[in-house]
Structure 1
Amino acid sequence: MIRGIRGATTITVDNAEAVFTATQQLAIEMALQNDIAPDDVASVIISTTPDITSSFPAKAVRMLDGWNYVPVMCTHEMNVSESLPKCIRIMMHVNTDVNQQDVVHIYLNDAVTLRPDLVKK
């Protein structure tokens, strides 16, 4: 069965190094917390707020060991007023037998404010 695993993080400055570091940290944590190997991943969609323009976060995921064949796509979030700035979101579609309520969604940095109900204390 395919399940979606959500994750989000923020960066403080829009540059390629910050985007790559934050994206890789988030993807790795999502995989670790859900015991996901690259071969379990059907696809990954990464969105950024419109204030992130320095690089493609999908490239950061494809650079992870074993992830070079995982289909990854980038897009921008809607430009909603008062939304969380400099935010990177990942929706990872994975093959898993884990029940929906047992999936661990990961929110890092200022993104913990997006879904406090899903953030593990």
Structure 2
Amino acid sequence: MSVRAIRGATQVEANTAESIYAGVVELLSEILSANALTPQDVISVLFTSSPDLNAAFPAAGAREVGFASVPLICAVEIDVPGALERTIRVMAHVETAASADSISHIYLHGAKSLRRDIAQ
């Protein structure tokens, strides 16, 4: 087994707890599915959100998909003028037998524009 980092991001519809939680649930579910992982394979997750998202902590949404025992932390992205709004980013550290080249990094909705080279 190796430790790998998996990146991802999503753009949510609104600055509401419901929208933030739904975005996190969708993003984490896609990351797990695309990489054949379970929450037990996850070592830790760092969430960042754009400064305009302050209605809820993204980590709270992760609890809905089985991340209750996973160390989670949230931070705010740098407020760069013109940056994509309503964006949640993730860096998950996982244990996996997968090679670095076979890891699927997940970018959803408007966040696909952040990494057109690897977005689905």
Normalising TM by the smaller chain, what interval? over 0.9
The Cα of 1:119 is off from its aligned counterpart by 1.6
Alpha-carbon RMSD across the aligned residues, in angstroms, is: 0.8
Residue 119 of structure 1 aligns with which residue? 119
Give the match for residue 94 of structure 1: 94
Unmatched 5+ stretches in structure 1:
none
Query: 1:47 and 2:48 equivalent?
Result: yes
Deviations 1:1-44 (A, max 9, x none): 11011110001210000000011000000000001111110000
Describe the SS at the equivalent of 2:45.
strand
Residue 9 of structure 1 corresponds to: 10
Q: Stretches of 4+ moved more than 2 A in 1?
A: none
Aligned counterparts of 1:67 and 1:43: Cα–Cα separation in 2: 9
- Runs (5+) with no aligned partner, structure 2: none
Distance 1:119 1:57 in 2: 21
Q: Which residue number corresponds to residue 103 of structure 2?
A: 103
- The TM-score normalised by the length of structure 1 is 0.95
Quick one: distance in 2 between partners of 1:75 and 1:5?
17
Give the whole-Å Cα distance in 2 for the aligned partners of 1:11 and 1:32. 20
Name the TM-score, length of structure 2 as normaliser. Answer: 0.96
Residues paired across the two proteins, number: 119
Using the aligned pairs only, state the percent identity: 36
Amino acid at match of 2:104: V
Shift in Å at residue 62 of structure 1?
Answer: 1.6
What residue identity is the alignment partner of 1:84? Answer: L
What SS is found at the alignment partner of 1:61? Answer: helix
Which residue matches 1:84? 84
